Amino acid sequence: MPAANRPFIPFARPTIDEDMVSAVADTLRSLWITTGPQVQAFEKALSVMHNDRPTRVFTSATAALEVALLTIGVGPGDEVIMPAQTFFSCANAIMQTGATPVFVDVDPLTRNMDLQQAKAAITKRTKVLMPTHFAGHPMDMDALYQLAHENNLRVIEDAALAIGSRWQNQLIGSFGDIVSFSFHPNKNITTVEGGALTFASEDEAKVSEAFRFHGIKRLADGTRDVTVLGGKFNLSDVNARLGLLQLARLDEFIEKRHLLVERYFDRLQGSSLTLPFRGDKGHSWNFFAPLLPLDQLSIDRKALMDELQRHGIGTGISYEAVHLTSLYRQRGFREGDFPHAEAIGRSTLTLPLFPTLSLDEVDYVCDTLLQLLHHYKK
């Protein structure tokens, strides 16, 4: 059972204060609650933050990825190269367009897409590279864009975990091709649900608007036309108002994440766990997910997670190997295809990490986990 009087510690928790609650309430009272001035202000703030690049917001990062693909004309017959170790939404968004996800393995240290394997996977049908900045640690952006340039490929960066991350002191999303962010409650900032794209081209940003809202184009005479098969992915002003206040505190949130992660490293260094790649200050640390030494334990991951739950500690899995889900097994993928992604998927464990987590709570998580590892050691 949890320590006496100790509240349950989830693996993720949004930071919502009374100013944010009040601002959202004011937006509701305004009665302009769908897409409107708050969305425009949020898009502008995101654009300014990212070197004035054209920015559009969406109902989710999943929607943003799908729209990004459609905007650049990805469809049946095209291939999109992506890592096998990431969230399912990346592959699903590709499939929704009729294109084919082509999985490659990841670097076992950084857990980012292995660019040598990506290079080997390029065919005449390849149209896009879609890497994930794993846990907020940026890809090698120089190598990524060199590979794309050499092969005349577009890049859609899955930066769902990486708003506020930096590559060589440049914010992810402030340069490059198309970059997608997530504002889910377990991300670095939240709009409850939401996502965004930053573009290198204003023309493409405008094209994305049609895919975001029913394919509608407004005509000079005030009527509407439908030019493409669009969806319904427009963010509301209620969400955007929260996003504006969250964005203003992003640096503060990331600074706290760094402090907490340093405590995790201090407490867990030298244990039987394989700790995440540390990186540098450019890493925004959306989550902290060591690998369990399951071959040394007399307990499996689910049972260990249940034990932690009984001690008042929530955990997650970031992530299962995408190609081993039922949907993609049906497309011919099997165990052994991508060994690093599979090894990570089998043994990863996401520990609590969020800005309102205290150092004392990190110590409790570490103490409990280390005790359980010792207790169940073979």
Q: How many CA atoms lie within 13 A of 26 on its CB side?
A: 10
Residue-by-residue DSSP string for 71-114: HTT--TT-EEEEESBS-HHHHHHHHHTT-EEEEE-B-TTT-SB-
- CA 329/CA 44 separation, integer angstroms: 42
Q: In sequence order, what are the beta bridge partners of 132?
A: 158
Cis amide linkage into residue 145, ω under 30° from 0: no
Catalytic residue among 187, 302, 377, 378: 187
Phi, psi of 316 (to 5 degrees): -140, -175
Find tokens 């100790």 and name the residue.
6
Q: How many CA atoms lie within 13 A of 71 on its CB side?
A: 30
Residues 6+ apart with CB under 8 A from 316: 11, 12, 287, 349, 350
Is the sign of the CA dihedral 287, 288, 293, 298 positive or negative?
Answer: negative
Tell me the two tokens of residue 282: 């450019």
- CA 273/CA 132 separation, integer angstroms: 24
Alpha helices per DSSP H over 122-226 = 141-150, 202-212
187 is a catalytic site residue: yes
Residue-by-residue DSSP string for 270-322: TSSSBPPP---TT---S-B-PBP-GGGBSS-HHHHHHHHHHTTB--B-S--BG
Phi, psi of 101 (to 5 degrees): -75, 130
Q: What is the dihedral of CA 78, 81, 83, 87, to 10 degrees?
A: -30
Q: Which of 181, 214, 245 is nearest to 41 (CA)?
A: 245
Q: Which residues are catalytic?
A: 187
